[in-house]
Amino acid sequence: MLQKLKGHWDYVSSVAFSPDGKLVASASYDRTVRLWDAVTGAALQKLEGHSSSVSSVAFSPDGKLVASASGDRTVRL
Amino acid sequence: MLQKLKGHWDYVSSVAFSPDGKLVASASYDRTVRLWDAVTGAALQKLEGHSSSVSSVAFSPDGKLVASASGDRTVRL
Amino acid sequence: MLQKLKGHWDYVSSVAFSPDGKLVASASYDRTVRLWDAVTGAALQKLEGHSSSVSSVAFSPDGKLVASASGDRTVRL
Amino acid sequence: MLQKLKGHWDYVSSVAFSPDGKLVASASYDRTVRLWDAVTGAALQKLEGHSSSVSSVAFSPDGKLVASASGDRTVRL
């Protein structure tokens, strides 16, 4: 079953699953990180704050934190 | 033993092994994600649907899902 | 709680959590790799030595080593 | 102790540790993947065969295989 997760309005640069497999995080040049339900594909959260494109995203091993790297020279948790 | 997996017709941007080590997923600017048998190198599946280059690919921890990020602004599962 | 980790003065290309989840490493085009406390967000260390932008960063499985790849054609441990 | 692993003659795009932490693999625009001893930093192997820049590298979960993605449109194992 192929699911298309829509929401980002620019290039999506990186994806990562949470360690428990329940969430997908995506980083985009639209300056946001989005969290999705990996089973239903539902959009759960939009993490804003970066002032430039987001290049990379990673979950912490316990799945409670998401780190994102950006062209705005900051890392966000 | 070096195996060359042929099929993509444009730049291959990212590779990932499934958690059980049996599959390799590759993302390409040819707009597809391909799944390969990690042992034999056989092409198993071509996942289409993206309308632009695919930048990143990841397996879920249970190996049942593949998420891909694309320049077409969507994430696919 | 959204934390903004400031320090890099150029594009941040990659982030990674240490296996124990206590550290975040970030790679930047400012030629450094920085280590951050994943809980408090405090800047812990600045790893210099690359003479060009850093493209990728990874922790070893035991969390004791950080490898970085750079446009200066070297890998650092 | 900072170690500088020299050998690549062009941009290094990606690094990865083997699951046992003993090896580091690096992918480079010089068309090779190189394997290094993660403890001593010694160059162990140069994997050639790609006819274009290598964008991404990954170890299999058992550490016995390395997959690499390239601009030459192929994936290598």
The chain C residue lying nearest A63, using CA atoms, is: C21
Element (H, E) at A49: none
Q: pLDDT for B42-60, tens place per residue?
A: 888 888 877 777 888 888 8
Show pLDDT as tens, one digit a residue, over chain D (77 residues).
466 777 787 778 888 888 888 888 888 888 888 888 888 888 888 888 787 778 888 888 888 888 887 766 566 66
Are B75 and A26 contacting, i.e. CB atoms less than 8 angstroms apart? yes
ipTM of the complex: 0.73
- Please list every residue in chain D whose beta carbon sits closer than 8 Å to the beta carbon of residue C47: 2
Low-confidence ranges of chain C (pLDDT < 50): 1
Distances (CA, A) of B56 to B48, C23, D55: 14, 24, 11
> Which runs of consecutive H residues, i.e. helices, occur in chain B?
none
Give the pLDDT confidence score for residue B72 in this predicted structure: 62
Q: Is B2 exposed, middle or buried (0-12, 13-18, 19+ CB in 10 A)?
A: exposed
What is the SS3 assignment for chain C? CCCEECCCCCCEEEEEECCCCCEEEEEECCCCEEEEECCCCCEEEEECCCCCCEEEEEECCCCCCEEEEECCCCEEC
Q: Give me the residue from B55, B60, B73 closest to A17, CB to CB.
A: B60
Between chain A and chain C, how many beta carbons pairs sit less than 8 Å apart?
Answer: 77
Handedness of CA B18, B23, B27, B33 (dihedral sign): negative
Closest-CA distance of chain B to residue A56, Å: 10
3-state secondary structure of A69: strand
Residue type, C57: V
Q: What gap in Å lies between CA D69 and CA B10, rounded to an integer?
A: 11
Q: What gap in Å lies between CA B70 and CA D71, rounded to an integer?
A: 17
Q: What gap in Å lies between CA D74 and CA B29, rounded to an integer?
A: 12
What lies within 8 Å, CB to CB, of C64 at 6+ separation is none
Task: Decide if B15 and D61 are in contact by the 8 Å CB cutoff.
Answer: no
Whether A and C touch, i.e. at least 3 CB pairs below 8 A, reads as yes
Dihedrals phi, psi of A49, to nearest 5 degrees: 130, -30
Q: Give me the residue from A57, A71, A77 closest to C5, CB to CB.
A: A77
Task: Decide if B75 and A11 are in contact by the 8 Å CB cutoff.
Answer: no
Task: Decide if C12 and A59 are in contact by the 8 Å CB cutoff.
Answer: no
Task: Decide if D15 and C73 are in contact by the 8 Å CB cutoff.
Answer: no
Residue B76 pLDDT class (50, 70, 90 cuts): low
* Per-window interface: A 14-43 vs B, CB < 8 A: 14-17, 19-21, 24, 26-28, 30, 34, 36, 38, 41
Give the pLDDT confidence score for residue C1 in this predicted structure: 46
- pLDDT exceeds cutoff 60 at B73: no
Task: Kindly report the pTM of this predicted structure.
Answer: 0.79
Query: Which of D4, D15, D39 would you mutate first to test chain C, the one with the most C CBs within 10 A?
Result: D15
